Structure formats: C-alpha cells, structure tokens
C-alpha cells in the first residue's frame, strides 16, 4: 500500500491527538485543544474526566472527541468498562478506545475476550459511536495478536489498536502487518504508542493503519511541513 499524502491537513486527518497522562492540568489541556483546532486533527482523545469540556470546546468545528475505558491496564470488569464508556458517550464522546483484559488474552480465554468485545461494541453502536479495542501488542505473542484480531472480526468491532502508549512498547511494523493480514478490510487498524516521528507515521499508514494515535502531533506535522516546504 503506497502512502500518498500531499498536505499537512491531509496528514492531520489520520490523527487521534491524545492527551491521556495522569498529571494533565487545565493549562496543558487548553493548549492541547488549541492544537487540535490549529492542526485540524480527526479527533481529540481524552480520558473521561475531560470529555464534556472537550466536546464543548470543539463543538461545531468538525473535530470529534474520543474517550477511553479500562485505560490503560484493562483490568476492570466488563461492567465497569461499559459504565465508563456509557458516561463518556452520554457526555458527547463519539468513539471509545477500550483496553481488553490482557491477562485473559494471555490465558487464551477467547470466550471472555469475545464477550467483553461484544458488549463494548454493542454499547458503542447503540449510541452511533465507534468502538476500538486496544490489544497492547507489546505483551502478546503473534499467535495472541492473531487470536484477538480474529475475535475482532467475528464481533464486528470498528478498530483494533496496537497499544495504549503506557506499555513496554508501541506500534511495530511486524505487528501491524500481522493485524492487517488477519482483519483485511473488515476491521480498521489504529497504530499508537511510540508514534513520535513522521517516518514511523507514514510507515504505519503504508502498512494499512487508517488511524494514528499520538501525543506528538506538532512535532510530526512540523516535520512534514519542513520536509515539504521546498
């Protein structure tokens, strides 16, 4: 797949610009929202406490707000993840990135993984929202990545996502190739974690990622603009 991106605005449209750290303060968040507007990213990805504020600030300018559930460890009950997602959706979030139960996947309890994914997907789709499952590939074998992606296809979730950005590693080329091999065009791919450079961003898009999660949009867009200024 050849990546044909000719403008900074086109590149920005791939991004879920993320501010998800535990120490985010108001001034940092306001700067983040200004950058969302400046670069015209696809969405602002925030934790639940910030959803209503982000929705208010980004209303009517075409930038969606996405939120998290079970983030970043995935070790909540399905009921807790559903309630977290339900509240975010009620406040205007249009996408939910939830972390699957990584321990259950490592135990190869695919029945649990499937039921969790079924419930999260149904909740989002009932509200007209997109559902993304975060696999946290850095902890998984290729067989486990494949197994989770097969469940994703079966359950009709919208996206499989590589990483939270809080694990031991982020998106890697081999993992994204494997994910694309399994899901094809039936489920989309979001590459996240370690997405700090233009070259890695373009690589992930070329490999089939249709969404990029990153907290480094100014750097990446700046690199793109500098490279194309001549």
- State how far Cα 216 lies from the chain centre: 14
Asked if 200 is an active-site residue, the reply is no
219, 193 Cβ separation under 8 angstroms: no
pLDDT of residue 230: 58
Helix 26-39 and helix 51-58, axial crossing angle in degrees, nearest 10: 40
43, 66 Cβ separation under 8 angstroms: yes
123, 86 Cβ separation under 8 angstroms: yes
Catalytic position from the list 81, 180, 190, 200: 190
Verdict on whether the full-model pTM lies above 0.85: yes
Domains of the chain: 8-225 (3.20.20.70)
Q: Assign 96 to helix, strand or coil.
A: strand
pLDDT of residue 80: 98
Asked if 190 is an active-site residue, the reply is yes
Q: Could you count the other beta carbons within 10 Å of the beta carbon of residue 10?
A: 11
DSSP class of residue 40 equals: T
pLDDT of residue 229: 81
Instruction: Give me the average pLDDT of each 10-residue run along the chain (230 residues).
Output: 82 98 96 98 98 96 97 98 98 98 98 98 98 98 98 98 97 98 98 96 98 97 89
pLDDT of residue 2: 59
Asked if 161 is an active-site residue, the reply is yes
pLDDT of residue 226: 94
Catalytic position from the list 97, 132, 175, 200: 97
Catalytic position from the list 64, 132, 161, 180: 161
Q: Where does residue 210 rank: exposed (0-12), middle (13-18), buried (19+ CB within 10 A)?
A: middle
Q: Where does residue 3 rank: exposed (0-12), middle (13-18), buried (19+ CB within 10 A)?
A: middle
What dihedral angle (degrees, nearest 10) is formed by the CA atoms of 20, 22, 26, 31?
Answer: -40
**CA dist., res. 22 & res. 104, Å (int):** 25
């Amino acid at each position: 797949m050849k990546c044909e991106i000719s403008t900074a605005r086109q590149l920005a449209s791939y991004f879920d610009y993320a501010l998800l750290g535990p120490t985010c303060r108001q001034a940092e968040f306001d700067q983040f929202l200004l950058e969302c507007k400046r670069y015209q990213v696809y969405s602002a990805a925030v934790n639940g406490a910030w959803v209503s504020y982000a929705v208010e600030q980004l209303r009517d300018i075409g930038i969606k707000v996405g939120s998290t559930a079970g983030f970043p460890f995935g070790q909540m009950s399905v009921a807790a993840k559903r309630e977290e997602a339900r509240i975010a959706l009620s406040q205007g979030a249009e996408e939910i990135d939830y972390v699957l139960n990584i321990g259950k996947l490592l135990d190869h309890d695919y029945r649990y993984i499937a039921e969790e994914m079924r419930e999260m997907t149904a909740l989002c789709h009932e509200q007209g929202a997109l559902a993304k499952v975060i696999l946290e590939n850095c902890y998984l074998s290729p067989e486990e990545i494949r197994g989770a992606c097969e469940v994703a296809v079966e359950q009709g979730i919208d996206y499989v996502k590589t990483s939270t950005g809080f694990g031991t590693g982020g998106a890697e080329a081999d993992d994204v190739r494997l994910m694309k091999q399994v899901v094809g065009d039936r489920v989309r791919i979001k590459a996240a974690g370690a997405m700090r450079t233009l070259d890695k961003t373009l690589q992930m898009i070329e490999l089939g990622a249709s969404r990029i999660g990153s907290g480094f949009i100014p750097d990446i867009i700046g690199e793109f603009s500098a490279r194309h200024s001549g």
